[in-house]
């Protein structure tokens, strides 16, 4: 079946606009790109032709001819996690101010999928890439920069070879651990994963340091994916343990894990926080809306996204004069009913 048979129409070309307006293709191009150099009457005639024909300029082709795009790639670990939604909102807000579009890619914590997205974004000649990488030391990232595509790590620390925006996750782990220990807990579970992911290992290192300092037992549970289902599964496993050996508190590496874990405690009939105190990480909106409002280590997701976009804009505009910067924010512990006896 032909295009006409399907009821579609071919996109009008710049030549058709020129023919209808009785001007050259060059004049139409000037109206589109440098309208101030075209006589008002001629400019109006061209604009009338554009509207009459329904002509839409091909911005992608124009930018590719110029060797640059107005699109920024944003690669995140899990779009199902509201933390990354908030992060993307911050990045997009600043991109909008700079007449730039954000293309969101989901790696699903898969380095192969992440590599595919990076290849596609480079082929699209994006203006730059913001990424929460599976491995912040992946040589593909510095290779992209060497080939001319600026890269900023988001929610990840970097060395001086890349710009980065991150949160002090070791401090976040210490805040959570110190709160639980000061609340009287001596058997604590840390749940997160994979442990090879930088922010997970940093959060684990933070609570481990506090536990060792205070001579507290800390048990480690690794998951492949940090989601509600995985949190519920670990929760069921821990809830089935004898009370005398079961941890009395849990620090989970993100709020989705913590919410699933909280569900498992409820189903098992364990009281939160009396039988099991729970602290998550990220402080997503669902944390405060849970059946038992969830204590959580808050990191400023929107500010992370916005700051990363600022660093990228600086790198694009400064080019060879750019000096990489690493911006580190401090987390805050938000204490709610899931870990605070006095609130129940």
The angle formed by the CA atoms of residues 201, 202 and 207, to the nearest 5 degrees, is: 100
pLDDT of residue 343: 57
pLDDT of residue 10: 62
Give the span between the Cα atoms of 112 and 135, in whole angstroms: 11
Give the span between the Cα atoms of 181 and 213, in whole angstroms: 11
pLDDT of residue 29: 85
Residue 102 above 90 pLDDT?
Answer: yes
* Confidence grade of residue 333 (pLDDT, cut at 50, 70, 90): very high
Residue 297 above 90 pLDDT?
Answer: yes
Find out whether 287 and 258 touch, Cβ atoms under 8 Å. Answer: yes
Question: How much of the chain exceeds pLDDT 90, in percent?
Answer: 75
For 65-94, what is each residue's pLDDT tens digit?
A: 555 678 999 999 999 999 999 999 999 999
Asked which of 16-20, 102-106, 249-253 is least confident by mean pLDDT, the reply is 16-20
For 135-190, what is each residue's pLDDT tens digit?
A: 888 889 989 988 889 999 999 988 768 999 999 999 999 999 999 999 999 999 99
* Confidence grade of residue 2 (pLDDT, cut at 50, 70, 90): very low
Find out whether 250 and 191 touch, Cβ atoms under 8 Å. Answer: yes
Asked which of 3-7, 46-50, 119-123, 288-292 is least confident by mean pLDDT, the reply is 3-7
How large is the average pLDDT for residues 249-268? 98
What's the chain's average pLDDT? 91
Residue 211 above 90 pLDDT?
Answer: yes
How large is the average pLDDT for residues 198-216? 97
Question: Which residues are 151's β-sheet partners?
Answer: 129
pLDDT of residue 310: 97
The residue that leads in pLDDT, 344 or 283, is 283
* Confidence grade of residue 192 (pLDDT, cut at 50, 70, 90): very high
pLDDT of residue 261: 98
Number of H helices, E strands in the chain: 13, 12
Nearest to 323 by CA among 161, 180, 185: 161
């Amino acid at each position: 079946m032909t295009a006409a048979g399907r009821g579609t129409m071919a996109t009008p070309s710049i030549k058709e606009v020129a023919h209808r307006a009785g001007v050259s293709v060059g004049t139409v191009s000037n109206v589109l790109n440098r309208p101030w150099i075209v006589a008002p009457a001629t400019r109006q005639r061209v604009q009338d032709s554009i509207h009459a024909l329904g002509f839409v300029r091909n911005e992608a082709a124009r930018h590719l001819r110029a060797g640059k795009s107005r699109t920024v790639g944003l690669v995140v670990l899990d779009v199902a996690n509201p933390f990354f939604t908030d992060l993307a909102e911050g990045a997009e807000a600043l991109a909008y101010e700079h007449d730039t579009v954000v293309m969101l890619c989901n790696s699903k914590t898969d380095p192969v999928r992440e590599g595919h997205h990076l290849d596609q974004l480079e082929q699209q000649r994006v203006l730059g890439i913001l990424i929460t990488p599976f491995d912040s030391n992946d040589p593909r990232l510095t290779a992209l920069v060497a080939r001319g595509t600026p890269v900023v790590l988001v929610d990840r620390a970097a060395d001086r070879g890349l710009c980065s925006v991150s949160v002090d996750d070791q401090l976040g782990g210490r805040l959570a651990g110190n709160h639980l220990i000061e609340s009287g807990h001596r058997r604590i579970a840390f749940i997160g994963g994979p442990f090879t992911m930088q922010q997970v290992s940093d959060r684990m290192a933070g609570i481990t340091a506090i536990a060792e300092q205070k001579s507290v037992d800390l048990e480690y549970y690794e998951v492949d994916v940090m989601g509600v289902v995985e949190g519920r599964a670990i929760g069921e496993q821990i809830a089935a343990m004898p009370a005398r050996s079961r941890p009395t508190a849990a620090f989970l590496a993100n709020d989705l894990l913590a919410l699933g874990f909280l569900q498992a405690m409820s189903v098992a009939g364990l009281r939160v926080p009396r039988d099991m105190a729970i602290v998550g990480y990220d402080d997503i909106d669902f944390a405060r809306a849970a059946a038992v409002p969830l204590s959580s280590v808050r990191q400023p997701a929107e500010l992370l996204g916005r700051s990363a976009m600022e660093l990228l804009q600086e790198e694009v505009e400064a080019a060879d004069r750019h000096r990489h910067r690493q911006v580190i924010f401090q987390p805050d512990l938000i204490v709610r009913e899931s870990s605070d006896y006095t609130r129940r």
